[in-house]
A and B are shown apart, each in its own frame.
Chain A
Amino acid sequence: MLLPGKLTGPWAATLAGAFWLATAAVSAPALADGIELHGAGSTLAAPLYEKWIGEYQRTHNSVILHYAAVGSGEGVARFASGAVDFGASDVALASEKAAKIAGGVVQVPSTAGMVVLAYNLPGFKGELKLPQDVYSDIFLGRIHSWDDPRIAGANPGLKLPARTIAVVVRQDSSGTTYAFTSHLAAVSKNWGVEGRGAGTVVAWPHEAMNARGNEGVASRIKIADNSIGYVEYGFARRLGLKVAALQNSEGRFVLPSPEAGEAAMVSSATGSLDGLGASIVNPHGPEAYPIVTYSWLLLHRHYPPEQARVLKSFVLFALGDGQKQALNLGYIALPPAVTELAKAAVVEIDAEPAAPTPTTRN
């Protein structure tokens, strides 16, 4: 809606509709005093970005922000080509890639998410515990059945069905896959032996079911009995899926929770933004949840003055008040040390009085 908060009742809706029609007819000039910005990327953080945009626009009437959840890989591509004003990715851009983008890039961590192993075992009661070597072997296709002695060994007293494990994985290029496979590559010897490596798209075992997007994986787990798959925590929570307690680097089994995620963040925070992404592939600390990832906003170093002002204020809002909403949606609030670093990075964005940059939209 373009006129939020000013009028109430059905007339407001009618008026807004009429106004929308008018702007659509007259197009850009009607927004002359306002500003419109486009972003695209990560599906992992998309629910949070949409929430932030809604909140921000409520207090800034002249600003319209759009976000398209197209996946991290596509988001980076659109940002690099100048199709959007800001990008979003769960994988920080490598420095050589960042150097190729005209005008320079400012990468700001915006939130962090936990990659959880969600499962659907009908009739199974209790809390499933999975050691690091066991869950990596499940995703390598080396453990086929739920009643495998290695799973049973970690879950004494629990009755596991003699059923085939239905593994669900991501088919599209994904930051969630990157976070998960970087972790597996770090903790599992077998993962390296099979030469799978870490990436946004990897070759999964043949019997794994492929699904598209975090929503796709979560809903596949929901309809498939005896299944297990990796999704961002919030997606599993929204569909009411059960999640496994995973063994962390200290050998303890930890269920995903905001506290466990925060413990992972705090224990691994480094003094600079470079290397932050790599720092948390297998976090330390007894309470730390083992698979966490930062999600990043990709911004240009220079914008036209008005755009620079709005983007800075939006990102600072996200790093400030926005962090409270992250918790409600199943994300992890950034540790204060990291938000300070991020805020310092945002300041580097400056207004560019000169001719329009390639990112300017007419």
Chain B
Amino acid sequence: MAFQLVLPDSKSVSQAPSPLAYAVDRTFFYAAAAGALAIILLVIYILWEIGGQALPAIGRSGASVLVNTQWDVQNSSFGILPQIWGTLYSSLMALLIGGFIGVSIAIFLTQDFLPHSLATVFRTLIEMLAAIPSVVFGLWGIFVVIPFVRPAADWLHDAAGFIPFFSTSLSGPGMLPAVIVLSIMILPTVAAISQDAIGLVPYKIKEAAYGLGATRWEAILKVILPTASGGISSALVLGFGRALGETMALAMLIGNANQISLSLFSPATTLAALLASNFPEAGAIERQALMYAALVLLAITLVVNVAGTLILLWTSRKMAKA
């Protein structure tokens, strides 16, 4: 059979690229590459700048800042262990609550529990949570969440005060209200990405599970969730990252007390809250210590993100083998 060359005529939709198209293509490539490079450079610059300003504090007190518990401006002795503890504790608790609810919502909205149109409405509503300003969440926490949880907290303290989690009474601002508001704040992130991940599970896998006689919940828990686990864990990591860096709502709700306590009802503080509340009046030496704290916060976020990526790689590799 002879090879037939078909040249595009004026009616064809395809045409040989013009020099202009080449130029546009090239320009776009370089612009995109420059944009990507700029982001990397920006991150490096921020690290460089913060690290540079933190350097005197690091040189002065080294790692002792990480284990000291007193932020004492008068004696220029700074410690951020309570802040690190508060940041990790509040974020982990928020991830526990917000992660569970977020993944549940994702299952509920994607597995035909609801008519499709209603599910879309729900999804939009949950994503709108992400548009509420942090300070509004803070006010809502003070005037709605705290009065709402106080009776339950008082009851728990009276009945089970011997358990470390309930060992103090809830005064108002404290860990529990902060965790509740934080878990609602990370909900849209977790729910949206989990929905996408579950949505990406091929339909034939679900069909096959049903075909083998699995019930709906068996299909969801034993087939669909494991298949989507990579995406869901990255949703959780992103939610955790958001919780680590949240500032305003926490500064309003957590109570600003530099203590390390397991109690959910006692006031605490976080690295971000420390930065927000101490920067305005900080003198030169305190500012260096605050930069050190900012660097620690960056490092924690970085570690969490790297860990998340590794989990993602590991699970997808395991899935490929199975």
Complex CA–CA separation, A206 to B267 (angstroms): 10
Query: Judging by beta carbons under 8 Å apart, are B281 and A209 in contact?
Result: no
Q: Which one, A71, A172, A208, A212, contacts B257 given CB within 8 A? A: A208
How many A-B Cβ pairs are below 8 Å? 70
Query: Judging by beta carbons under 8 Å apart, are B267 and A207 in contact?
Result: yes
Contacts A172-B281, A203-B72 given; indicate if A227 touches B257 (C-beta within 8 A).
no
Query: Judging by beta carbons under 8 Å apart, are A74 and B281 in contact?
Result: yes
Query: Judging by beta carbons under 8 Å apart, are B171 and A164 in contact?
Result: yes
Say yes or no for A163: interface residue by CB 8 A criterion.
yes
The interface bits of chain A over 63-90 (1 if a CB of B lies within 8 angstroms of the residue's CB, else 0) are: 0000000010010000000000000000
Query: Judging by beta carbons under 8 Å apart, are A226 and B169 in contact?
Result: yes
User: Which residues of B have CB within 8 Å of A212?
Assistant: 277
Query: Judging by beta carbons under 8 Å apart, are A227 and B171 in contact?
Result: yes
Complex CA–CA separation, A172 to B286 (angstroms): 13
User: Which residues of B have CB within 8 Å of A164?
Assistant: 168-169, 171, 265-266
User: Which residues of B have CB within 8 Å of A220?
Assistant: 173
Q: Which of B72, B146, B158, B281 has the most CB of A within 10 A?
A: B281
Query: Judging by beta carbons under 8 Å apart, are B281 and A225 in contact?
Result: no
User: Which residues of A have CB within 8 Å of B260?
Assistant: 206
Say yes or no for A171: interface residue by CB 8 A criterion.
yes
B74 (CB) vs chain A CBs: closest residue: A201
Say yes or no for A12: interface residue by CB 8 A criterion.
no
Query: Which residues from 145 to 202 on chain A have a C-beta closer than 8 Å to any C-beta of chain B?
Result: 162-164, 166, 171-173, 199, 201-202
Query: Judging by beta carbons under 8 Å apart, are B277 and A223 in contact?
Result: no
Complex CA–CA separation, A203 to B78 (angstroms): 11
The distance from the CB of B135 to the nearest CB of chain A, in whole angstroms, is 15
User: Which residues of B have CB within 8 Å of A199?
Assistant: 74
Query: Judging by beta carbons under 8 Å apart, are A227 and B256 in contact?
Result: no
Say yes or no for A316: interface residue by CB 8 A criterion.
no
Say yes or no for B172: interface residue by CB 8 A criterion.
yes
Say yes or no for B290: interface residue by CB 8 A criterion.
no
Query: Judging by beta carbons under 8 Å apart, are A210 and B150 in contact?
Result: no
Complex CA–CA separation, A166 to B277 (angstroms): 19
Say yes or no for B75: interface residue by CB 8 A criterion.
yes
User: Which residues of A have CB within 8 Å of B142?
Assistant: 223
Complex CA–CA separation, A163 to B158 (angstroms): 9
The distance from the CB of A91 to the nearest CB of chain B, in whole angstroms, is 14
Give 13 A-B contacts (CB < 8 Å), ordered by A residue. Answer: A163-B171, A164-B265, A166-B171, A171-B277, A206-B257, A207-B261, A207-B267, A209-B255, A210-B257, A223-B142, A223-B173, A224-B255, A226-B171
Query: Judging by beta carbons under 8 Å apart, are A201 and B256 in contact?
Result: no
User: Which residues of B have CB within 8 Å of A71?
Assistant: 281
A222 (CB) vs chain B CBs: closest residue: B172
The distance from the CB of A211 to the nearest CB of chain B, in whole angstroms, is 7
Say yes or no for B70: interface residue by CB 8 A criterion.
yes
Q: Which of A74, A207, A212, A220 has the most CB of B within 10 A?
A: A207
Complex CA–CA separation, A172 to B278 (angstroms): 8
User: Which residues of A have CB within 8 Å of B69?
Assistant: 206
